[in-house]
Structure 1
Amino acid sequence: MARHGRVARTPVSPRDPALLTAALPAPRSTALGNGRATAHRGELARLAENLLSEPTVRNLWRQQLSLTRVFDWLEGFPADNWQDRWLLSGSDDLGSGWGPQGLSAGTRSRFTAGLGALIVLQVVRPSYGWLFGSRLLGVYDAYRRHNQSVLFAELQQHAGGQRCDEHATEALNVLTRMSIVTGKDLLALDLEDLTDYAGARLASGRTVTALPLAYDILHAVGGLNDSPPTLREAQARGQLTPAELVRSLGGGVAGRPRTGRPASGPG
């Protein structure tokens, strides 16, 4: 997987037609939940090769080393799938402090790259809290390139026509996080999923300023089809909680951390 989210140009593996690249035509909606959480590590390593923008011998070796470190670590936890091993590790509650402790900077970088590939492949689904607290260079962009890429491109087009680049990108990040955490097809996301996301942002002391735009563009491409066209209308009908979200949309800030530090990041 490219560090800055560049697109893989290697062909899609015939073993896994759900793995998309931007160069190939694809349906607007691709069902998630592909069972990779129980796949053998060797098969996952082969699938990960499609994430490389430049599949040179060196890059393949670096990727395999990164995945090997993460696989070896996760296999130390007794569970039948990679997601449960991730949860048993306790790392989901640690944000940027996840994984084995006392690692060198180089080894930590390998672990981060390996886990990023597993997130893009939908093998591991961290919580919102973990995603908010972790620095994932290129992972969100890579996820959009390799999962429902056509639909994400439509969302980006709608977002870019309504807001500045930074706000549009964060609206896409909102929907990307929701897809990662829920494992759902984008068009299957509902008001309850938005409520869960808003609640997680509130709990972390971060803003939800990008949530209305995320709602608008998802509705515009055919999502939330049983819901009003805007988030404010959904709120007016009492269809979206928690109540704090109503206040935050007026003031722009969902809340502040319990430690008293200022809220950070759009969201």
Structure 2
Amino acid sequence: MKYDKLVEPVVKWAGGKRQLLPELKKYIPKNISTYYEPFLGGAAVLFDIQPKKAVVSDINEELINLYMAIRDNVDELIEDLKKHKNTPDYFYKIRGLDRETSIYSKLTKVERASRIHYLNKTCYNGLFRVNMAGQFNSPFGNYKNPNITNEITIRAVSKYLNEANIKLKYCDYEETLKSIRKGAFVYFDPPYDPVSNSSNFTGYAKGGFNRDEQWRLRNVCDKLNSKGIKFLLSNSSTDFILDLYKDYNTKIIQAKRFINSNGNKRGEIDEVLVRNYG
């Protein structure tokens, strides 16, 4: 399987890792039996390193359904994407489908995937956000010519997902790691600990990710460490996170944030990389 530079994220994602890849790749081990990524999101790391064997997951059902449609029904998906219109009325009609249970339940998996990809490409700032009921609630972006079909990238990603041994799962991250064995490597990119009360964005899936969840994740990291399984974790460099992982190797890095409802708050912020190896 040859490396394909056309394989790249198909969705814009809050906290996406594309601009951090040069730094992240310094710490990804060379010899990995199986790559695990249990907070898949936009999949920037997966698509950049393109492992031959991986187990990846997310708790966002619509996102995993999109990746499955790209893998299993790429031609149907591309044809369906061509029908969408870049207008406010059409956008809000499509966005509102998940409020209409009787209509939404009749959508095929491909139609659901097409809907979520369309909304991501045309919503404001590419912000994938849902409310507490799990309904997509980002407003219309008013872009002149968004690449809704995105055919070249989608076909490249489909080819990779079919040629490599990639397991896609819709589940909690602990479930993803149940059968992990020594020799595997885990990259964690969870919802970040908020740096301020106003920056508490956890809306990529209903339910959020509070500090109790951050503690649960640290406990999972401890279990991996006790088994001799290497992990790398990204998070915001808050005092809470730095204290939580004080027993591990940490490195503060600078990251640019391009997704924020307040344009003045986009820019460089400190993040931390945590790992249990040298």
Identify whether the pair has TM-score above 0.5, normalized to the shorter chain: no
Q: TM-score, normalised by structure 2?
A: 0.31
Higher RCO by CA contacts (8 Å cutoff, separation 6 or greater) = 2
| Structure with the bigger percentage of strand | 2
Structure with bigger helix share is 1
